[in-house]
Amino acid sequence: MDIFSADPGTVVLADVRDGTPMNLHLDGWGGYNSFRSVIHGFKVTLKGGVQFMHTLNEFIYVYTFGERMGQIQVSGVSFYQDCQGMNEVMQGLPDHGMEEVIGYYGLNRVNVRPHPVTIVMGTSTVFQAFLTDFYAELADQERLVGTWNMTFAAIPG
pLDDT 10s digit of each residue in the chain, 157 long? 444 455 555 555 556 555 556 788 899 998 887 888 889 899 999 999 999 999 999 999 999 999 999 999 999 998 876 544 444 444 555 567 888 899 999 999 999 999 999 999 988 899 999 999 999 998 877 777 889 999 999 999 8
Distances (CA, A) of 59 to 71, 102, 118, 157: 32, 51, 42, 31
CA 23 to CA 40: how far, in whole Å?
11
Domains of the chain, earliest start first: 17-154 (2.40.30.200)
Can you give the pLDDT at residue 81? 65
Task: Please give the pLDDT value at position 61.
Answer: 94
pTM, to two decimals: 0.77
State the DSSP code for 18. G
Q: Which of 4, 45, 2, 40 is nearest to 22 (CA)?
A: 40
